[in-house]
C-alpha cells in the first residue's frame, strides 16, 4: 500500500453541506502516492455535532477542523489532511486486508 521508496499515502477528508435529513457529507480522497488497496466511503451525518463527535473519536484535534466546519455552513466545500488511521476511525476509508 506504499511505494517502494517508503512514501506514505496522503488522505484528505472532504466536508460539505447539502440538503436533506442528513445534510453533512464526509468523504475521503486518496491522493498520493499509491491508491491501490484503499476504497473511500461517503458518510452522511445529521448535524455538525455528529461530525465533531466523529473527529473526536478519530483523535483529530479541534484546531485542525474548526475552520472547515465554519466554512461549510457558508456553502463552501472544505478538506483537511488526515492519516490512514484517522480516516479509518472516521469510517470513510476501507483498506483491503489482502495487500
**pLDDT one-digit tens code per residue, 56-89:** 999 999 999 999 999 998 788 999 999 999 999 9
- What's the mean pLDDT when you consider all of the chain? 88
Residue 83 lies in a domain: yes
Q: Label residues 40-77 b or e (16+ Cβ within 10 Å = b).
A: eeebebeebeebbebbeebebeeeebeebbeebeeeee
Is residue 4 included in any domain, yes or no? no
**Which pTM value belongs to this model?**
0.84
Confidence band of 6 (pLDDT split at 50, 70, 90): low
Query: Residue 72 sits in which domain range?
Result: 10-95
The answer to the question of residue 91 being in a domain is: yes
> Does residue 1 lie within any of the structural domains?
no
Number of domains in the chain: 1
Is the residue at 88 inside a domain? yes
Amino acid at each position: 500500500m506504499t511505494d517502494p521508496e517508503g512514501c506514505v499515502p496522503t488522505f484528505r477528508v472532504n466536508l460539505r453541506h447539502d440538503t436533506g435529513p442528513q445534510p453533512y457529507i464526509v468523504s475521503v480522497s486518496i491522493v498520493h502516492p499509491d491508491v491501490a488497496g484503499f476504497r473511500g466511503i461517503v458518510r452522511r451525518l445529521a448535524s455538525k455535532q455528529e461530525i465533531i463527535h466523529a473527529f473526536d473519536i478519530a483523535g483529530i484535534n479541534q484546531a485542525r477542523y474548526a475552520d472547515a466546519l465554519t466554512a461549510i455552513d457558508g456553502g463552501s466545500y472544505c478538506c483537511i489532511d488526515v492519516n490512514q488511521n484517522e480516516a479509518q476511525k472516521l469510517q470513510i476509508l476501507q483498506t483491503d486486508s489482502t495487500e
